[in-house]
Amino acid sequence: MIISEEVSRSETIGPNLGGLVSTKNVDDDKPQKARPLVSIVVPTRNSARTLRECLESIEAQSIACEIIVVDNNSTDETTQIALEYVDKLVRGGPERSAQRNIGFLECAADAVGFIDSDMVLEPTVAEEALAMISGGFAAAVVPEYTSGTGYWTSVRAYERSMYLENKNVEAARFFSRPILEQLGGFNEELTGGEDWDLEIRAEQFGKIGRVTARIRHDEGHLRYLEACRKKGYYAKGYARFARTHGIKTLISITVNRTYIKSPKVLLTGKGIGLAALKFGEMVAILVSVSRQFAIDTFSTEPRDSVSKSSLASFWSTIGERLKEAICEQDPEETLTVAPQLPSASIEASAQCISRDQPKY
């Protein structure tokens, strides 16, 4: 096993690879594994509730896998649990993109997977992904389904079942190592949409495949406000994602869902709950994206404090900015200038946004 301490690193593979890492060998009584065919990186932050089952599912894969956990200052039992399973434990951050890049630098295999700590893999996930990558695919998507307890978790499961095989929603989780090196890993400026960003860039090098084995995503006991706050936190990166890939690409990922095309599905029991959940999440996304644009645009204010006046100024110009961004992608397309939102609505909606980094 290798444990990494948090110190400055002197080299990177690509322009996006940052974070902090240095390695040292420690005694390990575990029997030596076979040479790994796939390296799997798991970023963690206070992930004790779900981590054990996640790592056990990686250990149970049908082929030899290297397990690398990158922990971001957990205060629960995350690292103690990780030490029971991992080949390498690394400490670093500050966000998942940086953690994944740090873990990637430690990988020994030519196929690399990125799995969240609340995910459980079916036994052939890694084997199927490796077969695709060895066959010339740049990356592989793994379909997901939701588990957990409570009404809102069942609503999330209902939602996820509706967009299986939708390439605009599912993002790749396994990649060719040489391609990752050329891409420079994840874009660390993105706190959300970083997985979509990496897949879009990977498509320059080959097709994106899709395995048949699945991932079970353990949502626990999902609560409405918690879901909205989490969506708002990760939506901070959407503004920067849109600058890179265009507004239309962002909309196709966040809005163009199956239930928009077939609104009748929202008339069922869970459908009504889904409509309420998506409304709350979209408000959180809207406020978070506008806030990030305001931070990037009005640099005279502290980055952690943006006043209502800045948000109002943002909404007075956002329509033209969106129009310019879309016209860069399609000069013949036009967009109506977005109206200003009332200050009271902005203030109320902002309560849906969490500034604190959520558990993974």
- 319 near 247, Cβ under 8 Å? no
User: In this structure, what DSSP letter does residue 75 have?
Assistant: -
| Per-chain mean pLDDT for the chain | 76
User: Given a cut of 80, is residue 251 above it in pLDDT?
Assistant: no
Give 32's pLDDT tier (boundaries 50, 70, 90): low
Angle of the 238-245 helix axis to the 269-297 helix axis, nearest 10: 80
1-222 topology per CATH: Spore Coat Polysaccharide Biosynthesis Protein SpsA; Chain A (3.90.550)
Q: CA nearest 163: which of 260, 74, 73?
A: 260
Q: Which of 45-49, 220-224, 246-250 has the lowest mean pLDDT?
A: 246-250
- Tell me the pTM: 0.70
**Taking a C-beta distance cutoff of 8 angstroms, is the pair 45, 72 a contact?**
yes
pLDDT digit string, tens, across residues 274-284: 888 888 888 88
C-alpha dist (Å) from residue 64 to 37, 61, 126, 354: 6, 7, 9, 39
How large is the average pLDDT for residues 323-338? 41
Q: What is the DSSP letter of 292?
A: H
Ramachandran class of 73: left when φ > 0, alpha when ψ lies in -120 to 50, beta otherwise: left
Strand partners, 210: 141
Across 28-42, average pLDDT: 79
C-alpha of 164 from chain center:
17
Q: Assign residue 260 a region: left if phi > 0, alpha if psi is -120 to 50, beta otherwise?
A: alpha
Interatomic CA distance for residues 102 and 191, integer angstroms: 16
In this structure, the dihedral spanned by the alpha carbons of residues 210, 214, 219 and 224, taken in order and rounded to 10 degrees, is: 50
Task: Note the pLDDT tens digit of each residue in 63-100.
Answer: 999 999 999 999 999 999 999 999 999 999 888 999 99
Q: What are phi and psi of 160, to 5 degrees?
A: -65, -35
Domain locations along the chain:
1-222, 223-360
The tens digit of pLDDT for each residue in 292-330 reads 777 666 555 444 444 445 445 544 554 455 445 444 444
E runs forming strands in 268-330: none
Q: Name the more confident of 334 and 303.
A: 303
Alpha-carbon gap, residue 105 to 99, rounded angstroms: 10
> So what's the pLDDT on residue 157?
87
What is the pLDDT, as a whole number, of residue 311? 47
Residue at token pair 């971001």: 72
* CA-to-CA separations, 88 to 7, 67, 73, 94, 106, in angstroms, rounded: 16, 7, 16, 19, 8
Q: How many CB atoms are closer than 10 A to CB 76?
A: 15
